Structure 1
Amino acid sequence: MPRPVETLKLTPEQRRVAHMAASLLLEYPGPEFATRMPLIESSVAALPEPLAAEFATFLGHARAVSSTALEQEYVATFDLKRKCCLYLSYYAAGDTRRRGTALVAFLEAYRAAGWEFEADELPDFLPAVLEFSARSDSPVAAELIAAHREGLEVLRAALARIDSPYAAVASAVCMSLPEIDDATRERYLTLVNEGPPTETVGLSFLGNLAPYSPTGAPHEEVRA
């Protein structure tokens, strides 16, 4: 059974800082990663101690290994392990027909908040969702993350099980969210044990979605 995390009462600004930092740390650690680290470190240092400590654990690891080693670790963790997927709808829908509906729901959530999703990733990519939460004032962002709390807990448990340094980042995200109820805990424990559904289908329908531009109101772009 995964270790429960302490949920913290954060101010909106603290939550934005935590989610933006987690978004950057959960992206592929490419050439810009090293230049971002000092800013991330200074930002998270002001967060409540338990949360800052989780970020410090990962950042300490990132500084201790080479950039090549960190890139290889990222691929081995998130690209090759089914339960360490960074696409939130995968945990509930897996590779099934239901995932199509889930992905459309993510796009509609961005649109409801006046944002346009323009990125090479799918709209349920966790770093993109966290950036949305960090930069949007809409309650839709918080609701979107809350709706996929089970997936976040499965990710956290899977990373902890393999002793991944990324488990600290996942724990920080879970700490920043409201305490889960018993029903949610039961659902994520079921997912931890059984894994996502495995029916395999294509996702080509996403290519048929028309571009969305809200009328009469400014909008933001989410870029993963």
Structure 2
Amino acid sequence: MDQETANLLGVVISVAAVLGTWVPLLRRGPKRRLQFYTPLPGTFSDAHAAAAVVRGHPQKTTVVRVANTGRVSLPTDDWDGPLEVRFPGRVVESAEQTGARPADLRVFLSVDGDRATIAPLLLNSTDLVELTITTDAPSPVRVHARIRDVVKVGRKKWVYPPGTGKDGALLRGDKIMTFVVFPALFFALGLFLFLNTDESAVRTIAIWALPGIAVGFIGFIGIAVRRSRAWRPSPQ
């Protein structure tokens, strides 16, 4: 591989790393969107879901988080009925609110057969409600609501945990590794490549690609932290 091709390949890798992380980070989300998420462990689809025995019958417990991930509020007037967390073919034994963002957000929660329902309420952008629901047996989770200009309540399948704290929160050790150790390693590798007099194509590609990868890594961490916070209740 000649030097011109190596230079071009390095630039392409660098630009792709930056665009692949910073475009999603800076992109504005939908104006009106409601989503739900079932964090692991404890989802009904998880083989290690928490199990309990109540009155001699095996039960399953899961956590369901519903969040307004749009850019505008969803006022009560826009709702055409309650929000329903459904467990087809099963019986909901109990349901309780176990978290929210902001912390003082409270919902009117009731149980009806195979579902738990939340009465219409004002959900501002980034508001979140966490429910802990127990049924008589495993079942897929479905969430339904009729809200103006919200096509459906979509499911967030997975949220990358950027840290080792609860719900992926960054602890002190995580911050040191992310914002001190990794940048230092990038810098050391870049310095080594710069001082190395070898004119190989691999060195040329690495010199061009490394800055973009470093910036892309920062963008990736930004995306992970933002999404993790979006699905984390406020501390009680």
TM-score using structure 2 length: 0.21
Higher helix content, 1 or 2: 1
Higher strand content, 1 or 2: 2
